[in-house]
Amino acid sequence: MLRITHGPHIGRITSDSVRVWLRLEEAASLRIQYAQCSIFNGEMSEEALSNYFQENKKQDLEDIQKQDDFVITIDITGLEADTQYIYQVELSNDGENYVEQSFEERSFGYFRTFPRNGSIHEELVFAFGSCFHPYIKGGNVKRDRIFTGLDIQSNKEKGFRFLLLLGDQIYADYVPKNLIKKNSGNWKRCLPLIANFVPLFSYYFRFKEAADFEAYKYAYRLYWDSFPFRKALMSIPTFMTFDDHEFRNGWGLQSENNPGTRRGRKFVSRKEEALKAYDLYQHTLNPQTPHKQYWYRFNFGDIGFFVLDTRTERDKKGEKIILDIKQMEALKDWLSNGGYTLKFIISSVSIAHISFHPLIDRFFPADSGDHWAGFPNQREELLNYIFDNKIKGVHCLSGDAHVSNIAKITERDSEIEVFSFISSPFAQKSTRLHEYITHKDDLGRRFSLTPVFNCAGENFGVVRVTPQKSNNDNTDKDLKSEFQTPSYGISYELYDKFAEQFFQCPGKAMIALDVDRTLSPSRMLKKDSKPYPNAARVVKRLHEQFGVVYLTARPRILPHISLVRHWLRENDFPTAQVIMIMKLKYILPCRYYDYKCEMIKHLRDNQLHTPLIGIGDKKADAKAYTKNNMISLILSTDNGNLPNDDVHNVKLESEVSVWDQIEKIIFNQILQKGEIQKKGQHITGCTVKLRDLEGYLNLKSAILMISQLDTCNRAFYKRSLKYQTNLN
């Protein structure tokens, strides 16, 4: 029976070509029919579909041998730039009678070619992520829901322009042994010695690791045999790189890349087998490179991407490098290229390492040493080059960490900022203790690292690049020179497996909500806590109009953010960011006010939200909100006089439910009197508007009025604009 077992996937996309990758069950003749199409992911009749396919291409596959694993790639060339196409794969036994191929409900895919070089005029939206291990509980349960969410969000965006897969697309060293069939290659036990003598590690008896080419190919077939994975990659062009688990855990930390060592000679043959499988299944979809060169570059208009190889060239024991000289020099030359307005460095491991506690780095160096932190000299060389040459618009995208994280690297008295964005995992263990990460990487005396956001759980990242119009109005000369060049606004976003956004930077939230004793009467939130009546309905309305962010209680012994997110979902609250500042000093009851103030400051300064209304249940909440120029709504039994006009009392002992009162106060009092607009002008110096009108901040008004702000607010708002605008 003719059948496509894996794929089709699309990659190596340019302004006039694309490559289609797939794997067949047996040798056959194949052709791909394609045509321009203005409809995205719409249902079409068979007659309409056949009319769309005006061109076709055939390729005889009878010469495909078993050692190629029946994998084939077809290049479609001569396409129009920045144009959407629809395509369909057909197979034939005799080369004449072709049968269309489909799986589940999808029989055709889409792609849109890249624009030609030059500045882009439409919004660029692309996704990225890493670490896909769909098999849990010994391989008895498949966990691949994240790619359903990815596909849903791509459809909402009318198609991601591309997807960056940043490593660990398979776990060849953790394959459930009950899924390994006979004649599938050679396999080794995981941790054979320690598992024999330490009961704690007996868990690894359930897994094996690939040891030859056949086994590595089988691992790809096993991990990529996922309907959501195939469906998403059928219509989202991919660019890929490897991390360690395409070969083995911690690849490059123990001289596997050095054939001059005993360990290197032991693994040299096995590494070559792993790379052959990587070439066959992944690298063939990347831009063409010289033999055995796995780093590459591509561009989308005037936005450049440099995908690093952080594995095959690293030497931990000898020169202690993560990139060889040739790759490092190529990276520097690319950074100095003035033709790129924005530059994205794509690294499978993070530039800025994060951990739960500094002692972990000391006693488990294999973890921290696996990232750029383990190669401080080369990282310092790279950062020095960026800051010394005043290279703006540099962003680093990474995976591997099993936690999502956003941070910025800065230097005192310098306008240059380098942003680090980690998205991980697609499907892999992500311990909730990651929510308590507080240890910042030591970048030396020159540079500092500012955490922006951190969260555990399965996710994928989205980067949104929006062209910004230059300002040609007659404004303040300093402002005009700062904003007159064409530039791009950048938004970092994180989504869960349900395609629900749980973080965005720059933030858009205007309302900060306490959770304990505000959304629920419970003093300490639990899984079975009941929300106040109508709370979910009112919060949804507030989120649609203003945007909300949830403020958690002070740090606790048990992971709290995951509990809050689960409780919010179960009780039908809108998905939004949940924030907690993890510092041990805030455990003390006397520090509650300081804790609340620091959360508001973090929202404004680092995540660039504009919180104007705060809802809580304590006098300390009212004090903290008032201190930060916010309007307060406080749940209280005190019916006496209010401290000032900015504090509104929500009566707990009333015939009207708490959240019905809140809804009435906000929409019938605060908005009617224009209180929120006044607060917006006081904080940002511009008019704040509702989401259903013109958005949150009027950029043009901000530019005209920023010179009128006091020093503190001027600095705050300019930081906000720097996230939205790449200043040249």
Q: Over the stretch 371-390, which tens digit does the pLDDT of each residue have?
A: 898 899 999 999 999 999 99
Same domain, 308 and 160: yes
Q: What is the mean pLDDT of the chain?
A: 81
Q: Using CB atoms within 10 A of its CB, is residue 140 exposed (0-12), middle (13-18) or buried (19+)?
A: exposed
* Predicted pLDDT of residue 351: 92
Same domain, 60 and 158: no
Q: Per-residue pLDDT for 492 more than 50?
A: yes
Q: Per-residue pLDDT for 36 more than 70?
A: yes
Q: Tell me if 185 is assigned to some domain.
A: no
* Predicted pLDDT of residue 706: 34
Q: Give residue 712's pLDDT band: very low, low, confident or very high (50, 70, 90).
A: very low
Alpha carbons 395 and 490: distance in angstroms, whole number: 10
Same domain, 490 and 404: yes
| CB-based contact 351:372 (threshold 8 Å) | yes
State the CATH number of the domain containing residue 612.
3.40.50.1000
Same domain, 83 and 19: yes
Question: Domains in the chain: how many in total?
Answer: 3
Sequence-distant (6+) residues with CB within 8 A of 192 are: none
* Structure-token pair, residue 640: 């006496």
Q: Tell me if 704 is assigned to some domain.
A: no
Alpha carbons 330 and 295: distance in angstroms, whole number: 10
Q: Which of 54-68, 138-152, 282-296, 588-602 has the lowest mean pLDDT?
A: 54-68
Q: Give residue 119's pLDDT band: very low, low, confident or very high (50, 70, 90).
A: confident
Alpha carbons 282 and 427: distance in angstroms, whole number: 19
Same domain, 160 and 302: yes
**Which residue from 287, 238, 240, 236 is spatially nearest to 40, judged by alpha carbons?**
236
Q: Are strands 163-165 and 238-240 parallel, antiparallel or unpaired?
A: parallel
529-566 CB burial, b ≥16 within 10 A, e <16: bebbeebbebbeebbebbbbbbbbbbbeeebbbbbbbe
Query: pLDDT, tens digit, for every residue of 529-586?
Result: 999 999 999 999 999 999 999 988 665 555 577 788 889 999 999 999 988 776 656 5
CA-to-CA separations, 224 to 355, 503, 718, in angstroms, rounded: 31, 28, 46
Q: Give residue 705's pLDDT band: very low, low, confident or very high (50, 70, 90).
A: very low
Which residues span the domain enclosing 589?
A: 507-666
**Which residue from 595, 598, 614, 496 is spatially nearest to 549, judged by alpha carbons?**
614
Query: pLDDT, tens digit, for every residue of 173-187?
Result: 999 988 999 889 999
Same domain, 446 and 539: no
* Predicted pLDDT of residue 653: 83
Same domain, 511 and 389: no
* Of 679 and 712, more confident: 679
Same domain, 501 and 407: yes
State the CATH number of the domain containing residue 33.
2.60.40.10
Average pLDDT score over residue span 477-484 = 35
CA-to-CA separations, 615 to 361, 545, 596, 630, 633, in angstroms, rounded: 39, 16, 12, 10, 5
Query: pLDDT, tens digit, for every residue of 198-215?
Result: 555 666 678 899 999 999
Q: Tell me if 287 is assigned to some domain.
A: no
Q: Per-residue pLDDT for 522 more than 80?
A: yes
In Å, how far from its chain's centre is CA 163? Answer: 11
* Predicted pLDDT of residue 574: 95
Q: Tell me if 268 is assigned to some domain.
A: no
Average pLDDT score over residue span 83-106 = 81
Alpha carbons 617 and 361: distance in angstroms, whole number: 40
Q: Per-residue pLDDT for 9 more than 90?
A: yes
Q: Tell me if 499 is assigned to some domain.
A: yes
CB under 8 Å, gap of 24 or more: what pairs does 11-14 form? 11/237, 11/238, 11/239, 11/240, 11/284, 11/285, 11/286, 12/75, 12/284, 12/285, 12/286, 12/287, 12/288, 13/111, 13/113, 13/114, 13/162, 13/237, 14/113, 14/114
Q: Where are the beta strands (DSSP E) in 631-705?
A: 631-636, 647-651
- Angle at which helices 711-724 and 592-605 pack, to 10 degrees? 50
Out of 612, 643, 666, a domain closes at 666
Out of 666, 688, 721, a domain closes at 666
Q: Tell me if 237 is assigned to some domain.
A: no
Out of 638, 666, 694, a domain closes at 666
Q: Tell me if 35 is assigned to some domain.
A: yes
| CB-based contact 494:501 (threshold 8 Å) | yes
* Of 716 and 595, more confident: 595
Q: Are strands 29-36 and 55-60 parallel, antiparallel or unpaired?
A: antiparallel
Same domain, 603 and 547: yes
Q: Per-residue pLDDT for 722 more than 80?
A: no
Q: How many CB atoms lie within 10 A of CB 398?
A: 29
Q: Which of 355-359, 484-488, 618-622 has the lowest mean pLDDT?
A: 355-359
Alpha carbons 108 and 31: distance in angstroms, whole number: 13
State the CATH number of the domain containing residue 350.
3.60.21.10
* Of 348 and 92, more confident: 348
Same domain, 537 and 557: yes
Same domain, 530 and 589: yes
Q: Tell me if 650 is assigned to some domain.
A: yes
Q: Per-residue pLDDT for 507 more than 80?
A: yes
Same domain, 88 and 12: yes
| DSSP-assigned letter for residue 81 | T
pTM, to two decimals: 0.87
